[in-house]
Structure 1
């Protein structure tokens, strides 16, 4: 029998904008009797997801149980960031019953699993399961290769080219590491898109995986918590494109933080972001904006050209009404000057 005193941890991975924060917010609000703690790992200097979750804090998951680690991959900073964070959460009184870790959308989950082999925590923590979220519409459309025709042309011209695009590698590594896949935004994909997305996932998975369709993060916690996978013990069964490498890098992707002036029309900003995403292959935009005459702060989130915005909370007394957006793209597509001109001009 496994050591039942170990604290279970669920790793929630998935591509940019697949709905990880929405899922965690749902779990926080429906904890099924568990006292939760959350670690959020952001890519870029503007922390958005952690603040969203803290605004949803409830007694079963209070704000002090929510920790944000920004601008750094937690599996690359194990001793400095990850271990102290886990130890601090385990030292809370009362101690959490379950820890949720939301990885960056660009993270490779397998190196994080290896971090759980760290001597200081291996005897105290078990990875209950790895949950991979996949945007059904994006998977069906094959968006993980920004220019499929160009990649195919390169491969046809040179037999030695057998590598895949960084986006497809990230997606495949996330699926390969998963214990269960949540297929999100099914309404946008439609029946045909859902069927195609399921086929793609089945083809990429190294073993049969359960796939559950989830809208707006609404899933019964019993489906994804309490899996008892002990994923740290079967790492070899979770293949990665980066197996055998001494390390993994994040130089395939870059982020730019843009300060934006106060807006008069949120739709105008949404149009700018949509145009920028289409013309510059931008993967993700998220952040905040101030709108003239409005006491509420505007939360902005975009996946590709799909932009969503809503007023999330009042500006705090004395808080500067400033807008900041973090823009994420592949390294070769980042043109900082063009991005700043498009959004702040």
Structure 2
């Protein structure tokens, strides 16, 4: 059996598992909920957009599901602090490896006595959103409202021209009802060329240009897509063979200076890194670390949280890079307890 046949079988198994888990619906359960999928490559701004939607829902009660690549779901942790209706789906592409968890989460939301007005699923940066939609729509209580794909304008040309990333990048673009060119404030003189190239790839579909993922809820929700999602998911094997992830959790607050020095030593070929940190000089203050390509920042998180302050002072870090270049031992050595003490 070829790799493609094997992975297609894996995707179909996920869809069949979803169908098996879904109970028969009665006439009394006739409400159908809209599902919006937010897609985009690693670091495009998906979590930033999702948090904006949660802070300005335009009167809607939104439920969110967050799927991430790796064992620790940093994005879900950031979103859960702002929403009680947040469900984490970690460690894989939702169309292949967590289909059962996704289906159970959707059943829980659709069968709730007080269901949300809409469900938003933030896809892993390495996922084909059409595969996720196929699994989700095995549930007759849902319909696909639309797929929105964010593109990081600053790294667009580099990602599009990378042969290891081309299939994922193209699948995310072709699946979209709406394409959002994010981080236009960082483009400078390259702006027009990037916009023209992306619009050429988008064809007749709209391309919105924004900074800081600032897209209104009324644009994201209520798209009412007419496109079919009856297309194959990207082979999940591509994700695990092309990319590697390393992660670490610390139960106690860290020293800020040593941690910052370690972050500065991360290799240049890292594609994406993100973390949540508490430091020993002020353990109750949470800091958010974001790195896309060579650009990174470590900033205090001053957003209001649903959970009571001080519930957890755990720190966590996830680093993602190309398998061919990712020196896991080098990264791990930078973040040992001894190195950070």
Which TM-score band applies after superposition, normalised by the shorter structure?
0.7 to 0.9
Q: Secondary structure at the match of 1:169?
A: helix
1:75 aligns with 2:75: no
- Residues 173 and 79 (structure 1 numbering): CA distance in 2 closer, same or farther, change over 3 Å? closer
Q: Following TM superposition, by how much is the alpha carbon of 1:91 offset from its aligned partner in structure 2, in angstroms?
A: 1.6
Q: 2:195 aligns with which of 194, 198, 220?
A: 198
Q: Secondary structure at the match of 2:114?
A: coil
Q: Secondary structure at the match of 1:50?
A: helix
Deviates more, 1:106-115 or 1:307-316: 307-316
What is the match of residue 219 of structure 1? 215
CA-to-partner distance for each residue in 1:81-129, whole Å, 9 max, x for gaps?
11111010112231111100001111121211222442xx1x3211111
What is the match of residue 189 of structure 1? 187
Q: Secondary structure at the match of 1:85?
A: helix
User: Unaligned stretches of 5+ in structure 1?
Assistant: 58-62, 147-164
Aligned equivalents of 2:208 and 2:335: distance in 1?
37
1:255 aligns with 2:281: no
Q: 1:308 aligns with which of 297, 306, 326?
A: 297
What is the match of residue 271 of structure 2? 283
Alpha-carbon contact 2:274-2:289 (below 8 Å) kept: yes
Please, what TM-score do these two structures have when normalized by structure 1? 0.78
What is the match of residue 37 of structure 1? 63
Q: Secondary structure at the match of 1:327?
A: strand
How many residue pairs get matched? 301
Q: 2:331 aligns with which of 325, 334, 339?
A: 339
Alpha-carbon contact 1:277-1:283 (below 8 Å) kept: no
Aligned equivalents of 1:198 and 1:304: distance in 2?
20
User: Unaligned stretches of 5+ in structure 2?
Assistant: 1-29
1:139 aligns with 2:156: yes
Aligned equivalents of 2:255 and 2:286: distance in 1?
13
Alpha-carbon contact 2:95-2:233 (below 8 Å) kept: no
- Residues 241 and 69 (structure 1 numbering): CA distance in 2 closer, same or farther, change over 3 Å? closer
Aligned equivalents of 1:274 and 1:144: distance in 2?
26
Q: Following TM superposition, by how much is the alpha carbon of 1:201 offset from its aligned partner in structure 2, in angstroms?
A: 1.8
Please, what TM-score do these two structures have when normalized by structure 2? 0.79
1:326 aligns with 2:318: yes
What is the match of residue 157 of structure 1? none
Aligned equivalents of 1:228 and 1:285: distance in 2?
34
Deviates more, 1:305-314 or 1:104-113: 305-314
What is the match of residue 4 of structure 2? none
Q: Secondary structure at the match of 1:75?
A: coil
